[in-house]
Amino acid sequence: MNNSRKIDHILVAISGASGSLYGLRLLEELHRAGFRLTVTASTSGQIVCREETGLDLSENPQAATERLCRQLGLEGGVSVVAPDDLFVGAASGSAAPGAMVVVPCSMGTLARIAGGISGNLIERAADVMLKERRPLLLVPRETPLSQIHLENMLRITRCGACVLPAMPAFYHRPESISDLIDFVVGKILDQLGIVHDLYSRWGE
């Protein structure tokens, strides 16, 4: 990935894998760091997010934005866009965000991105990231992994994306689920070059 470009706008996408909390926690940290954020969730991602967190992102974008900001305590700089809206800037290389994170990333979404299929905004925006050589992070949460999953992850990595599985470590002695979530979110921030203190590093 080419990280030389200054990043001030990040697209965070939530797909239908379990682990919506990772995406919401990432939004909190990115907002705190001062980034402009565009958020989208696939249809299945909206369903899973609602089941896991109680947050409904399925209404019109303005209502979804207000609900997201209220639940996370965010003020300004955040906009939710519909998963089928291909007229937003993220769908075009001429107005693409500086980076994109799909968290969590379902294996179906990963496979379609790896295959160059752009059936919704998440897949199209990911395709834009790859062709524009901008940071694209995919955070799958699946186990066990089939040969198809592994081959797709290898393929998308060779295309320039970063595959960062939601695999929390334990050397920092986590005491809560929040500690485990923060470890994965911290790893995402590391890849984006964002300073944080979400977990203690090895040897600290």
Dihedral angle over CA of 90, 94, 98, 103, nearest 10? 20
Strand, coil or helix: what is 1? coil
Residue 121 Cα distances to 18, 74, 76, angstroms = 20, 23, 22
Tokens 């109680």 correspond to 54
Q: Is 42 marked as binding a ligand? A: yes
Q: Is 107 marked as binding a ligand? A: yes
Which are the contacts of 7, defined by CB distance < 8 A and separation ≥ 6?
A: 35, 98, 99, 135, 192, 193
Q: Is 20 marked as binding a ligand? A: no
Q: Is 106 marked as binding a ligand? A: yes
Other Cβ atoms less than 10 A from the Cβ of 17: the count is 26
Q: Is 118 left (phi over 0), alpha (psi -120 to 50) or beta?
A: beta
Q: Is 79 marked as binding a ligand? A: no
Q: Is 18 marked as binding a ligand? A: yes
Q: Which residues are annotated as a binding site for FMN?
A: 16-18, 42, 106-109, 141
Q: Which residues are annotated as a binding site for dimethylallyl phosphate?
A: 171, 187
Q: Which residues are annotated as a binding site?
A: 16-18, 42, 106-109, 141, 171, 187
